[in-house]
Amino acid sequence: MSARLMKKALMRAGLAFAVLLLLFWSLGPIYWSLVTSLTPPNDLVSSELRLWPDTLTWEHYAKLFGATSISQGNEVQSVWPQFSRAFLNSIVTALAATLVTVAIAAFGAYAFVRFRFPGRDTLFFVVVATMAIPAYTVMIPLYRLMIAMKLIDTYTGVIFIYVSAFLPLALWLMRSVYQAIPISLEEAAYLDGAGRTHTLIKIVLPLSTPGLIAAALLTFLNAWGQFMVPLVFSPTLATKPLTVLIPEFVTRNYVDYGLMNAAGIIAIVPPILLVIFLNRFLVSGLMAGSGK
Amino acid sequence: MFALFNRLRPHGKGRTGLLGLAYVTPVIVIMGALVIIPLIATAWDSFYSVNPMKAGKPFVGLGNYTSLLADPNVRQSWSNTFLYVIFTVSMETIFGLAAALLLNRVKFGRSFLLAALILPWCLPPVVNAVVWGWIFNPSYGVLNNGLIALGVLEDNKVWFNDRVTALFMISVVHAWRMMPLTAIILLAALQSIPRDLYEAARLDGAGPIKMFRKVTLPLIGSGLAIALSQSTVFAFNLFDEAWILNGSGYDTRTVMIQVFMSAFQNLKFSYGMALSILAMLASIVVSAVYVLRVYRETRFE
Amino acid sequence: MSHMPSTKLLLAALAASTVAFAAPALAQDKPYDGQTLSVLLPPWGTLPKEMTDQFTADTGITLDSQTLGWDEIRTKIVTSMIANTAPASATEIDWSWVGQFGAAGWYQPLDGLVDAEAVADAPTAKIFVYDGQQLAVPYNNDFRILIYNAKHLADAGVAVPTTPDEMLDAARAIKAAGVADYPIGLPLSATEGSATAWYLLTKAFGGDLFDADFNPLFTSPDSAGYKAMEFEVNALNEGLIDPSATGLKDVDIQELFKNGQASFDVAGWAGIISVYNDATKSKVAGDAHLALMISTTGTPRSFGLPEAVGIPTNADNAGAAAAFIDWIQQPETQLGAFHTLGNLPPRLSVLESLSNSGELIDGDVLLKQAAYAEPLIAQGTPSWYPEFSAAVASNLNLAAKGQISVQDAVDRIAAEAAAAAQQ
């Protein structure tokens, strides 16, 4: 009896320790980024370990949100107009790419699992294999194409490039999700006279929610961190995202570490809100009905 | 019971063909226009000598590929890249699986734990590399300061002076950022395992390790294959971390840095593109090895 | 109308004819009225809105500013030019790209398009001449100069060094006095900043990198380049340079100097002095001073690393771009760029006026050194420069880490330079 209690307590302790370890691993560097963003430039270099700045400063955040700022001893315009615009661009492109990718993957993957058409498996293999193509390999031809279609510096252009980059992973993921769903459920609906598309939307998709959410998260976060694509295809603030704006805080002769870290800390807020919001769909007991 | 999970055959021949095609048309159009056609164009160019500083575009056949084999800098970058792949893929898979299992288990505050897990992936890559550069900085970084304060180190250590240490440190930075991807894919797979399978196994007298091997592992097999493949592909494309942390240093130069330097810095365009195509082929081959193996090993009866 | 170039005349005539009916009076002084000009520059080339508004008011040209970070701008230009489109109508050109962009024929000659008198006033404009043609006009002056911490020197009781040996002695004295553990600030990581520091020291030892036929001059043990690298490696081994320098970039060295951990910034660019003396960013504010570069020959040699604006060959509106270049050459614009962005004016007359008004820290030293700022390579930046400089940085780094000898390093650099030049 007591041995069992001991075992349980030990298990709990082990679990708690694992949670702490995970938190330290994930949050440690983020915490350091936060500390750097709150440290005055003067105190950044220190040969002793300091876990919290001696003097706290909000100046880097003030530069991001304020009206003016100081650069190399001179008062210049604030970066807020650029920052807010790039922030918006990041959100718009990542969200739109996510919606389009997940929609196409939801239908496409279903066809790859349940329908039979010529060249199906080859097509699937080719699409998944494109994951391995480095961005540099296709950049120049893609650039020519985008110019010809007048899609440079447009949301449409960037979004479709993102979709083409992240669709293979989403398709593969959704295919494995559909494969795990017992076919009997669909057959029942199908025998009841529901159409294929209707069955997919009404029966299969709800059962696949965790998979859909995982695919959406993967796409959103991959798009959020994209750098090469917008660098080339988003020349101006009309579509330029945060990832391309932030390196501008590194001038050739002066790196504004505080400002970069402040911008990075702000940049993690939207994805985190999204994760917290989507979490209950990702980790939910929806599978209860499928395991019979 | 497991019979349900046997390979599900597509059914309803013929009539589903057209609908199936309709479902995949967007996939074909987008991937064809934005990926396949550009890839063919670049592959075609790699058989020519394309250099904007020289007139014309002479056909060189496999010339670019044979000079790549002879280039010592390229060979070093391959050897570095393979080490990065080994380090990062194993770290991401082991820790990613551990994190997914943990999250699958924890009941309290799970959504916040998940958010914490994903945080590293939300930080823009440039900021990520800068933060780690700051942590590793040999003269005022928190790692050296921390280890000295703990008494582990006597003096500041220059982490990047030794090749394998440098490769390992850069791998840690990459794995820190990419591990959440693996964890999410595996978590989604874990979530789709019906609980009653564990109950059934428990009734059969299986212990936790046996349950993991007989129930969990086979059922997350395809998730594992996806996670392994994507982490391999990302490792072959490693660029930012190595470039920002150690510049063009031979010890840490990746294949993708070599591609960038050849094509965009030295303007030997088709030479760089030929190398990028080799990188693509290498990552497909390595991923295929895992995928086939994982699918074979996790076949369950 | 002595010799107004035909292209400009033609463009002006074309532009004039389109607006001639609407506003004949304006046609003459605002030939590009109503045009939109795209300009691609790094953050420190992007002038504040009040200034560009003035440009728009003067010329009628609306600016479409595209800003990109330093590492990214070149990738963007190369991608666009290989795809046969101009990335913008006027773009950044760094001194180190001149050989490549010239050989590729990506930029149009500006001779006759822009104000020649202003170009002649900027000594560093010569660096942007390729094949006898002016490819770009500098907007930001940058040359290397010695920066030292006067308090460190005073505390150790040493004078400002003028030769490499004196610098070593001064560093030893500073170290012995316990003022700074590692007095010499030099980057030795595999980055461009380490390569440029070695070039500067090569000139300090009275030599050059290449002869007129691009044969390397740095491989024999009595050459300046060899001695310069030996100087760096020995100073590191002697403990005069921070052992962590093999992992530090030029910006990291600046952090050390700002923190009072280094007494000399040998990789410093002239403009950084204002950051060093800014009390909000630096702990050594007030102590940082400029000195002429050390030298074995008595001539304080240095080299220029300016940045310029050029017009791609396939730019949409080259005329408006030329008007923009003329505008950034104007003294008021260069003064404005200095006051708002800290860019040192490329035009000597403007630099002099700033020095005279006392706005420059150690302005007399700065002006004296500016006169000695030569191009890195006399016959111009070769097209294989980026490969060469990556080889320098990477091999210098290996030598500093003790993995190869100085002789091996210079030999490998020479071999890579030869291979790069051949292809």
Residue extents of the structural domains in chain A: 2-57, 80-290
The minimum CA-CA distance between C106 and chain B, rounded to whole Å, is 9
Q: At B215, list the tokens.
A: 């129930």
Mutate to test the interface with C, among A151, A253, A257 (most CBs of C within 10 A): A253
pLDDT tens, position by position, C360-416: 889 899 999 988 888 999 888 999 999 999 999 999 999 999 999 999 999 999 999
Cα separations in angstroms, C110 against C103, C114, C310: 16, 6, 8
In this predicted structure, what is the pLDDT of residue A94?
A: 94
Residues of C in contact with B246 (CB under 8 A): 189-190, 247
Tell me how many degrees the CA angle C82-C83-C88 measures, rounded to the nearest 5: 90
Within a 10 A sphere around the Cβ of C3, how many other Cβ atoms?
7
Closest residue in A to B30 (Cα) is: A164
The larger pLDDT score, comparing residue A126 to residue B301, is at: A126
Distance (Å, whole) CA A234 – CA A153: 5
Q: A94-108, A254-268, C188-202, C326-340: lowest mean pLDDT where? A: A254-268
Compare B55 and A100 and report the one with higher pLDDT.
Answer: A100
Of B125-134, B292-301, C265-274, C367-376, the range with the highest mean pLDDT is C367-376
CB-CB under 8 Å, A77 with C48: yes
Torsional class of B13: left (φ above 0), alpha (ψ -120 to 50), beta (otherwise)? beta
A77 min Cα distance to partner chain B (Å): 23
Contact C75, B264 (CB under 8 A): yes
Nearest CB neighbour to C75, from listed B53, B139, B264? B264
Q: A142-193 pLDDT, tens per residue?
A: 998 998 999 988 999 999 999 999 999 999 999 988 888 888 877 877 777 7
Give the confidence band of B249 by pLDDT, cuts at 50, 70, 90.
confident
Across the interface, of C106, C247, C423, the residue whose CB is closest to B159 is C247
Q: For Cα atoms A91, A96, A97, give the angle at the middle one, nearest 5 degrees.
A: 105
Between A39 and B27, whose confidence is greater?
Answer: B27
Which residues neighbour B276 within 8 Å (Cβ) at sequence distance 6 or greater? A134, A136, A137, B42, B256, B259, B263
Between chains, do C341 and A76 touch, taking CB under 8 Å as contact? yes
Cβ–Cβ gap C340/A74 under 8 Å: yes
User: Distance between CA atoms of C36 and B256, rounded to whole angstroms?
Assistant: 37
In contact, B61 and B44? CB cutoff 8 Å: no
- B248 Cβ under 8 Å from any chain C Cβ: yes
pLDDT tops 50 at residue A109:
yes
Give C179-218 pLDDT, tens digit per residue: 999 999 999 999 989 999 999 999 999 999 999 999 999 9
Q: What is the CATH number of domain A80-290?
A: 1.10.3720.10
CA distances from C65 to A174, C101, C331, C412 (A): 43, 22, 21, 42
Q: Around Cβ A68, how many Cβ atoms within 10 Å?
A: 12
Helices (H), C20-136: 24-27, 49-59, 70-82, 98-104, 116-121
Strand-pair category, C62-67 with C36-41:
parallel
Reported as a single tens digit per residue, the pLDDT across B188-219 is 888 877 777 788 888 888 888 888 888 888 88
Q: With CB atoms and an 8 Å threshold, state whether A131 touches B230.
A: yes
Residue C223 has pLDDT above 80, yes or no: yes
Write down the pLDDT at residue B2: 34
How close does chain B come to C100, measured CA to CA in Å?
7
The pLDDT score that the predictor gives to residue B15 is 59
Interface A–C counts its CB contacts (< 8 A) at: 104
The C-alpha of A133 sits at a distance from chain B's nearest C-alpha, in angstroms, of 5
Nearest CA distance, B202 vs chain A (angstrom): 16
Segment B148-169 shows an average pLDDT of 87
Instruction: Dig out the tokens for C32 from the structure.
Output: 């590009």
Contact A231 C40 (CB under 8 A): no
Average pLDDT over all residues of chain C: 88
Whether chain A has a CB inside 8 Å of the CB on B295: the answer is no
**What domains, with CATH codes, occur in chain C?**
32-140+307-361 (3.40.190.10), 146-303+384-422 (3.40.190.10)
pLDDT at A288 exceeding the cut of 60? no
What per-residue string of b and e applies to A13-30 under the rule 16 or more CB within 10 Å gives b?
eeeeebbeebeebbeebb
- Residue found by looking up tokens 């202003």 in the block: C118
pLDDT in tens, C31-54: 888 889 999 998 888 888 888 889
Helices (H), C158-277: 164-176, 192-204, 224-237, 250-258, 273-276
Which chain A residues are within 8 Å of C283, Cβ to Cβ?
42
CA distances from C358 to A199, A262, C345 (A): 80, 36, 15
Please give the torsion angle defined by the CA atoms of residues B33, B35, B40 and B44, in that order, rounded to the nearest 10 degrees. 120
Please indicate whether, in this complex, the C-beta atoms of B38 and A145 are within 8 angstroms of each other. yes
Q: How far is C420 from chain B (nearest CA, A)?
A: 9
Contact C159, C153 (CB under 8 A): yes
Q: In the structure, what pLDDT confidence band is assigned to residue A47 with cuts at 50, 70 and 90?
A: low
* Residues of chain A positioned with their CB less than 8 A from the CB of C70: 247, 250-252
State the pLDDT at residue B206. 80
Determine whether the interchain pair C79/A232 forms a contact, defined as Cβ–Cβ distance below 8 Å: yes
Contact at CB, B98 and A179, closer than 8 angstroms? no
* Banded pLDDT at A125 (limits 50, 70, 90): very high
pLDDT at residue A77 in the model: 55
> Of residues C304 and C30, which shows the higher confidence score?
C304
**pLDDT greater than 90 at residue C106:** yes
A138 in contact with C at a CB cutoff of 8 Å? no
Q: What are the structural domains of chain B?
A: 2-7+66-297 (1.10.3720.10)
Tokens of B227: 């996670």
Q: What residues of chain C lie within 8 A of the CB of A46, using their CB? A: 259
- What value does the mean pLDDT take over residues C140-162? 94
Query: Distance between CA C149 and CA C164 in Å, rounded?
Result: 17
C3 or B16: which leads in pLDDT: B16
pLDDT for the residue numbered C90 = 95
Strand partners, C312: C107
d(CA A265, CA B122): 9
Lowest mean pLDDT among B261-275, C3-17, C344-358: C3-17
Q: Which chain A residue's Cα is nearest to B146?
A: A49
Is A41 in contact with C272 (Cβ distance < 8 A)? no
Compare all CA atoms of chain B with the CA of A111 and give the residue at the minimum distance.
B20
| Interchain CB contact of B83 with A (< 8 Å) | no
The residue in chain B having the minimum alpha-carbon distance to the alpha carbon of residue C259 is B140
Where does residue C42 fall: left (phi above 0), alpha (psi -120 to 50 degrees), or beta otherwise?
A: beta
- Pick from A203, A174, A163: which is nearest to A286 by CA? A203
Asked if pLDDT for residue B32 goes beyond 50, the answer is yes
- The per-residue pLDDT for A105 is 96
pLDDT at position C28: 54
In this predicted structure, what is the pLDDT of residue A76? 52
In this predicted structure, the answer to whether residue A69 has a pLDDT above a threshold of 80 is no
Chains within contact range of chain C (3+ C-beta pairs < 8 Å): A, B
CA distance A53 to A44: 9
What confidence category does residue C9 fall into, taking pLDDT thresholds of 50, 70 and 90?
A: very low
pLDDT at C1 over 60: no
Checking if the pLDDT of B29 tops 60, the result is yes
Q: Which of A164, C277, A23, C24 is nearest to B118 (CA)?
A: A23
Report which of B281, B233, B235, B239 is spatially closest to residue B263, judged by C-alpha positions: B239
Condensed to tens digits (0 to 9), the pLDDT of residues A181-216 reads 888 877 877 777 778 888 888 888 888 888 898 899
pLDDT band at C24 (very low <50, low <70, confident <90, very high): very low
When the pLDDT of each residue in chain B is averaged and rounded to a whole number, the result is: 86
Q: Which chains contact B through at least 3 pairs of Cβ atoms less than 8 Å apart?
A: A, C
Percentage of residues of chain B with pLDDT beyond 70: 93
pLDDT at residue B4, rounded to an integer? 34
Sequence letter at residue A223: A
* Mean of the per-residue pLDDT values of chain A: 83
pLDDT bucket at C241, cuts 50 / 70 / 90: very high
pLDDT at A228 over 50: yes
Of C100, C243, C394, the CB nearest to B53: C100
Residues of chain B with Cβ-Cβ distance to A86 below 8 Å are none
Note the pLDDT of residue C384.
93
Exposed (0-12), middle (13-18) or buried (19+): which is C228, by Cβ within 10 Å? Answer: buried
What are the pLDDT digits (tens) for B113-158?
Answer: 888 888 898 888 878 888 898 888 887 788 888 888 888 888 888 8
Is residue C73 within 8 A of residue C44, CB to CB? The reply is no
Q: Which residue is it, tokens 């809105």?
A: C49
- Which among B19, B27, B188 has a CA at the least distance from the CA of A167? B27
